[in-house]
Amino acid sequence: MGFLAPWFLAGMAALGVPVFVHLLRKHVTTPRPVSSLMFFERGVQSSTRHKQLKYLLLFALRAALVFLIVLAFADPFVRRPAAGGAGRLLVIALDNSFSMRAATHFADAKQQALATLAARPHDSPAQIIALGGQVQLLTQAIGDDAQLRAALLSIQPGDGHANFGELGRALRSIADTTHRPIDLHLFSDMQRTAMPSNFADMVLPPTVRLTAHPVAQGASLANWTVESVEAPAELSDPKDPRRSRVHAVIAGFNTPAATKTIALVINGKAIASRKVNVPPNGRAAVEFAPLDVSYGFNQCAVRIEEADALPDDNASVFAVRRSDPQRVLFVHATDDTRSATYFGAALSAADRASFILQSMDAAQTTDLDPSKFAFVVLSDVLALPSIFEHALAQYVAKGGRVFIALGTHAGRRAQIPLWGAAVLDTRESIRASGPLSVGQVDFAFPALAQAQPGRDNGGWAVVRVFYASTVEAGQARVAARLADGTPLLLDKQLGEGHLLLFTSGLDNLTNDLPLHPVFVAFIDRLAHYLSGSERLSGAALVDSFVQLRAAGEPVGAVSNVEVIDPDGRRALSLSEARTIQTYRFARAGFYKLRYPNGQDAVIGVNPDRRESNLEPLPPDLLKLWSGSGSSAPQTTAAPAPGEITNRNLSLWWYVMLLALLVVLAETAVASRHMGTQREEV
């Protein structure tokens, strides 16, 4: 017998309370007046006898009550022999990441997991975890064999990327909630790429004993994969040699030199193939041009024709949408002719865009319908016809996007059209104090996105701004600021759409941006962002998210979204379709989406290519990990059935029950004594 919280035994000092009350406290007697003591004689009862006898039963009960309560807090337990590691929680983690599709890895791992589950002592608690793109706790810690087995059998190979860091985090959470030692049995191919960047993330708590069951024994398997594909998401002219091409990289992991046949598949038909020599453990590029696709969405793939250890990663899918060039409405002031020139030149020079610019004076826009344009640019417009301004507001609310550039007329406006705020100040003094440069650029903003901006601030450092307006940012996102902190580019969501505000102009009077190369890239990405084409087609990775509707949008205010998974089934329930904001691509294949504004999209989803490298963890690293949780590292099979261990059986409940009985007895006895005392008075 022992105590789980022995320090509570210090509470036994409380036993002194009933001892003091019953045995040590001086007996207090209230004097009683009498007429005369003539016939009385002094007589003192034996104090010892008095103290011992009076309320002896009550004293015993009270002392027992204190003793039992203290004992209950100390949480006594007795050791009972139990078979097969009972008292420890068995956690079975089965890896169902994409790499487990290689050879018979997954089937082997599941078979071993089932054997381990069957070998555990009957009714001892166990928990099943699926380790895929996300760590899924399929059961609680239960002893029901059938339920545990069913949970294990329900695990199917997935397309996600396993991460041992996520597993370590989940185990730390389980160890925090369950107060018993854990036996973790991990059935996995122990892929090296599943390691987190920081080893500390995968360190297990001290109470967790890891038993690794690597299913990929021996040397790692040779595997080729289509590592990356560069293809236009939107294409207006298949004969455009600059844009109508597909560039793919074929990579081999633990592979010898080989010649591979690479095919371009469009809508299920292989329309072209190339032979490529892939060096040992190396990469080779292959290009298909032109990309002859039909109008609408085209489901394309680059495929390695020869099979290998992991055939599922031999194809990389992507979607290409062919459409006519989209029109862009450029509204400018009457006296502004330069802006449209610079903007149109940059737009036509852009890589990915296929837009036709339609320039128009603000006064001529009365009868225009903005919904016919991919996006609208308002360049230094002093005032808009009210009909057109209203139409523009409706257009933005339904998902349209408008780019507003303020020019030299900014100071004369009462309010910026559509934006809803006034210009606080015009920085004409910039001319006096010298031009300002662009100080901060948010390269995470889609219209300014750059993978690795250089020292020149992505090319923005050389830009000089002579004239800018100061606008209250409010709820808008500031994507770029001038050196003095003045917001240069702001993005504000309005309904389903977006408004972008450029506080300087698009001509070379207010800044010299149109004269720098960064202007073309900026306009290219800006057009891409404003037209929304970046989310209508292309490719994505498994476990990545797509935003289906804007955050904060009132539920039910717009129509439903729709997601069709690669099997052609609706992935969302009706209630989810009305409320969901983002969706996680759980599987590889083509997803068809319909946004609230009615736009359709097709996204090709591919597994994370890190899963294609089947190289397992080095043994020393695996040993280090196994030893991180306990002092007895173990990489063997399941514990021998019938192993005799001790189990601690807590007596807390029984002690409290006994204390309750003592409380009842003490109440009865005390009330009897108190009744006697009242009679005395």
Partner 1 sequence: MLQRFLDPAVLAGISSLDLLAKTVVDGFVAGLHRSPDFGFSQEFAEYRAYTPGDDLRHVDWNLFARTERCYLKRYRGETNSQLTVLLDASKSMQYTSGPPSKMDYARFIAAALFYLAIQNQRDAAGLIVFDDEIRDYIRPSTRPGQLARLFAGLEHAEPHARTNFARPLQHFRNSLHRRGIAILISDFYEDPETVIHEIAPLRFHGNEVILFHILDPEEIRPVMHGPALLVDLETEQRIEVVPDYARTTYRSRIDAHIEQLRTRARAAGMDYQLLLTNRPLDFALREYLALRQAEN
**Under DSSP, is residue 316 helix (H, G, I), strand (E, B) or coil?**
strand
Angle at which helix 145-153 crosses helix 105-119, to 10 degrees, equals 170
Contact flag: residue 29 with partner 1 (CB under 8 A): yes
Tokens 């597994």 label which residue? 607
List of residues 6+ apart from 159 with CB closer than 8 A = 98, 133, 542, 586, 587, 588, 605, 607
Residue 601: beta bridge partners?
593
Give 7 or 39: the residue with its C-beta nearer to partner 1.
Answer: 39
- Tell me how far, at minimum, the Cβ of 74 lies from partner 1, in Å: 39
**Angstrom distance (rounded) from CA 594 to CA 544:** 17
Give 55 or 460: the residue with its C-beta nearer to partner 1.
Answer: 55
**Angstrom distance (rounded) from CA 626 to CA 203:** 9
Contact flag: residue 676 with partner 1 (CB under 8 A): yes
Give 27 or 455: the residue with its C-beta nearer to partner 1.
Answer: 27
Contact flag: residue 679 with partner 1 (CB under 8 A): yes
Contact flag: residue 48 with partner 1 (CB under 8 A): no
- Tell me how far, at minimum, the Cβ of 57 lies from partner 1, in Å: 17
What residues from 468 to 487 belong to the interface with partner 1 (CB under 8 A)? Answer: none
Looking at 1, 24, 26, 36, which residue binds partner 1 (CB under 8 A)? 36
Looking at 44, 146, 307, 574, which residue binds partner 1 (CB under 8 A)? 44
Give 38 or 146: the residue with its C-beta nearer to partner 1.
Answer: 38
Confirm if 563 and 593 have CB atoms less than 8 A apart: yes
Give the closest residue to 327 by CA, choosing from 366, 279, 359, 288. Answer: 359
Contact flag: residue 40 with partner 1 (CB under 8 A): yes
208 phi and psi, to 5 degrees?
Answer: -100, 125
Give 38 or 551: the residue with its C-beta nearer to partner 1.
Answer: 38
Give the closest residue to 403 by CA, choosing from 476, 498, 473, 471. Answer: 498
Contact flag: residue 567 with partner 1 (CB under 8 A): no
Contact flag: residue 25 with partner 1 (CB under 8 A): no
Give the closest residue to 377 by CA, choosing from 391, 357, 363, 398. Answer: 357
Looking at 24, 37, 451, 551, which residue binds partner 1 (CB under 8 A)? 37
Contact flag: residue 671 with partner 1 (CB under 8 A): no
Give the number of C-alpha atoms closer than 13 A to the C-alpha of residue 161, restricted to the C-beta side: 20
Contact flag: residue 38 with partner 1 (CB under 8 A): yes
What residues from 132 to 191 belong to the interface with partner 1 (CB under 8 A)? Answer: none
Tokens 């100061």 label which residue? 470
Q: Per CB under 8 A, which region of 26-34, 355-363, 465-473, 570-578 contacts partner 1?
A: 26-34
Q: Residue 326 is encoded by which pair of tokens?
A: 């989209």
Residue 363 CA to its chain's centroid (Å): 48
Contact flag: residue 680 with partner 1 (CB under 8 A): yes
Looking at 7, 31, 48, 552, which residue binds partner 1 (CB under 8 A)? 31
Looking at 1, 7, 24, 30, which residue binds partner 1 (CB under 8 A)? 30
Give the closest residue to 279 by CA, choosing from 307, 305, 258, 303. Answer: 258
**Angstrom distance (rounded) from CA 59 to CA 72:** 20
Confirm if 230 and 591 have CB atoms less than 8 A apart: no
261 phi and psi, to 5 degrees?
Answer: -95, 120
How many residues bind to partner 1 according to rule CB under 8 A? 22
Looking at 26, 41, 367, 475, which residue binds partner 1 (CB under 8 A)? 41
**Angstrom distance (rounded) from CA 83 to CA 642:** 5
| Long-range contacts of residues 196-200, Cβ cutoff 8 Å, at least 24 apart | 196/163, 196/164, 196/165, 198/165, 199/625
Residue 230: beta bridge partners?
247
- Tell me how far, at minimum, the Cβ of 61 lies from partner 1, in Å: 21
Contact flag: residue 653 with partner 1 (CB under 8 A): no
C-alpha distances out from residue 197 to 192, 202, 445, 620, Å: 11, 10, 26, 17
Give 35 or 475: the residue with its C-beta nearer to partner 1.
Answer: 35
Q: Per CB under 8 A, which region of 40-48, 162-170, 222-230, 642-650 contacts partner 1?
A: 40-48
The CA-based angle 467-348-399, given to 5 degrees, is: 75
Looking at 32, 49, 179, 269, which residue binds partner 1 (CB under 8 A)? 32
Looking at 24, 26, 35, 620, which residue binds partner 1 (CB under 8 A)? 35
What residues from 183 to 202 belong to the interface with partner 1 (CB under 8 A)? Answer: none
Contact flag: residue 50 with partner 1 (CB under 8 A): yes
Give 433 or 676: the residue with its C-beta nearer to partner 1.
Answer: 676
What residues from 207 to 266 belong to the interface with partner 1 (CB under 8 A)? Answer: none
Contact flag: residue 26 with partner 1 (CB under 8 A): no
Give 36 or 177: the residue with its C-beta nearer to partner 1.
Answer: 36
Residues in contact with partner 1 by CB under 8 A are 27, 29-45, 50, 676, 679-680
